[in-house]
Structure formats: structure tokens, C-alpha cells
């Protein structure tokens, strides 16, 4: 039976992608590296270090490790400034009701986000109390699409992966859920998230009945 739901953060609970984009864009501009919304798609769901490497791939210069550390720090400082604006109104559609419904049913919940800023964002959204576990992204050895982050969440919850359902907006995240042998719901474009068991264009369509239904089928 369905015992636990594991949520991605960016793109599922709230949309921080815009803030990540703004912070990376400022860095790219300073370095004279071309960067736009389309290229930013590649950075979604990907950890900070890999995101930086993707950005620097488009430079004709090579940077030292010390410079890269400084770039990541600068981007993160700017990002943290931007996310101070986050309020409970920034929860994506339907999420508040869904968390309430799952809690009422006694279904356990966890967050599996690549973001080291996830705990602070959950506080700003006012939803920390719903989650039994928040995986510490700093403790992971491998990023999504590796299943590690979802397996750690299940282990921390004490629920076997086959009784868990994961919700993701990035294809790397959907692959991570599938790799963990969980049921996967994708939020976004079915063309990009074809690996999910079911895909919905928006979180506004999610509800408890639909999750149970997806889990059973
Ligand atoms: P940070 P998710 C991911 O969050 C973002 O989608 C990705 O763009 C970001 O680079 C990553 O977190 C790391 O974030 O720099 O705050 O540690 O989708 O896994 O919730
Ligand atoms: Mg995401």
C-alpha cells in the first residue's frame, strides 16, 4: 500500500527556478559567458557544482578550483538574497491542500531536493511541519538521476521504496525515482518526462485520490 510520498522542491512545492536563473545570469554576465532561459533548462534539478560546470562549458577560458569555489559562493549569496522574498503564497497550486490531505490520511512525507537551501525555503513557505524527513543534499555522494536521494528519504522514513511515490518536475529526478523502484509522478511536459508512470501539466491537478490511483495502477 502507499505509505509515503517524497517530494522534489523546486518545480513541485514552489518555483525557485526563476531565482536560480537570475543568480546564474548575473554571474554569467560578469564573466561574459552567454546564458539564457533555454540553456537554463539544463540546470534544473542539477546540483550547484554541476550547474556551474554546465555554465562554464560555454566559456573559452579555464578556471581554477579556487575561482570556481568563489563563483559558487557568489551565486549562492545572490540566490539567498532573492529567496528572502518567498512567502506561503508562493506554494504551487494545489500543494497546500495535498499536504493537508496526505497528513490526514497518515501518509508519511519527505523532501528530496538537490538544494542545500531547501530547509530555509520550507520555513519561508510555512510547510516544514508536514515533513517527517528532509534529505540533507550536502550528505549525498551522487546527484539525480542517481536514485541515492530517494533511497535515503525512504530509509529515513523507514518505508520500503515499493511503498513510496515520488513527485518530480525534472527528467533527471523522474529517472532517480524510477531507479529507486518507486512510483513516479511527473509535473510538466510528457515529452520530457516520458519515464514517469503519469505526467500532469500542473501541480493544481494533483489530489489524494489521484495519487492513490496512480500508485495502484
Ligand atoms: P542549491 P530541486 C535544485 O532543486 C534546483 O532545481 C537546481 O536548479 C539547483 O541547482 C539545485 O537544487 C541546487 O540548489 O544551489 O540551492 O544547493 O529541483 O532538486 O528541488
Ligand atoms: Mg525540481
117: confidence class by pLDDT, cuts 50, 70, 90: very high
Residue 166 in contact with ligand 1 by CB distance below 6 A: no
pTM of the model as a whole = 0.93
Q: HEC profile for the chain?
A: CCCEEEECCECCCECCHHHHHHHHHHHHHHHCCCCCHHHHHHHCCCCHHHHHHHHHCCCCCCCCHHHHHHHHHHHHHHHHHHHCCCCHHHECCCHHHHHHHHHHCCCEEEECCCCCCHHHHHHHHCCHHHCCEECCHHHCCCCCCCCHHHHHHHHHHCCCHHHEEEEECCHHHHHHHHHCCCEEEEECCCCCCCCCCEEECCHHHCCHHHHHHHHHC
- Indicate whether this complex's ipTM tops 0.90: yes
User: How far, in Å, is the centroid of ligand 1 from the Cα of 47?
Assistant: 5
Look at residue 217 in the predicted model and tell me its pLDDT: 86
Q: Is 169 a catalytic residue?
A: no
CA of 156 to the centre of ligand 2 (A): 21
Ligand nearest, relative to CA of residue 53: 1
Is 112's C-beta closer than 6 angstroms to any atom of ligand 1?
no
| Atom number, ligand 1, closest to the C-alpha of residue 170 | 18
Output the pLDDT for position 45: 85
What residues have CB less than 8 Å from 4, skipping those under 6 apart? Answer: 107, 108, 109, 110, 154, 157, 159, 163, 164, 165
Q: Ligand 1 pocket, 171 CB below 6 A?
A: no
> Residue 22 pLDDT > 90, yes or no?
yes
What pLDDT is stored for residue 83 in this prediction? 96
User: Does the pLDDT at position 28 exceed 90?
Assistant: yes
Residue 109 pairs with which residues in a beta bridge? 5
Q: Is 51 in the pocket of ligand 1 (CB under 6 A)?
A: yes
What are the tens digits of pLDDT across the range 119-139?
999 999 999 999 999 999 999
pLDDT tens-place string over residues 41-87: 889 888 999 999 999 999 999 999 999 999 999 999 999 999 999 99
User: Hey, which of 47, 49, 82, 131 would you mutate to test ligand 1's pocket, going by the most ligand atoms within 8 Å of its Cβ?
Assistant: 47
- Percent of the chain exceeding pLDDT 90 equals 95
pLDDT of residue 193: 94
156-179 mean pLDDT = 96
The number of the ligand nearest the C-alpha atom of 140 reads: 1
What is the structure's pLDDT at 166?
98
pLDDT, tens only, 83-116: 999 999 999 999 999 999 999 999 999 999 999 9
Closest ligand, as measured to the CA of 138: 1
Amino acid at each position: 500500500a502507499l505509505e509515503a510520498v517524497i517530494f522534489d522542491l523546486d518545480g513541485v512545492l514552489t518555483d525557485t527556478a526563476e531565482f536560480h536563473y537570475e543568480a546564474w545570469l548575473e554571474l554569467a554576465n560578469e564573466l561574459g559567458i552567454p546564458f539564457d532561459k533555454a540553456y537554463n533548462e539544463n540546470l534544473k534539478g542539477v546540483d550547484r557544482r554541476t550547474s556551474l560546470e554546465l555554465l562554464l562549458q560555454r566559456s573559452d577560458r579555464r578556471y581554477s578550483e579556487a575561482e570556481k569555489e568563489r563563483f559558487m559562493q557568489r551565486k549562492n549569496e545572490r540566490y539567498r538574497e532573492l529567496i528572502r522574498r518567498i512567502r506561503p503564497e508562493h506554494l504551487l497550486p494545489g500543494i497546500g491542500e495535498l499536504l493537508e490531505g496526505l497528513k490526514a490520511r497518515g501518509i508519511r512525507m519527505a523532501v528530496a531536493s538537490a538544494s542545500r537551501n531547501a530547509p530555509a525555503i520550507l520555513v519561508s513557505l510555512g510547510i516544514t511541519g508536514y515533513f517527517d524527513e528532509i534529505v540533507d543534499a550536502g550528505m549525498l555522494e551522487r546527484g539525480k538521476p542517481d536514485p541515492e536521494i530517494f533511497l535515503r528519504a525512504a530509509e529515513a522514513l523507514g518505508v520500503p521504496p515499493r511503498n513510496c511515490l515520488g513527485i518530480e518536475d525534472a527528467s533527471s529526478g523522474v529517472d532517480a525515482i524510477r531507479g529507486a523502484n518507486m512510483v513516479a509522478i511527473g509535473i510538466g511536459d510528457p515529452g520530457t518526462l516520458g519515464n514517469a508512470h503519469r505526467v500532469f501539466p500542473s501541480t493544481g491537478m494533483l489530489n489524494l485520490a489521484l495519487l492513490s490511483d496512480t500508485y495502484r495502477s
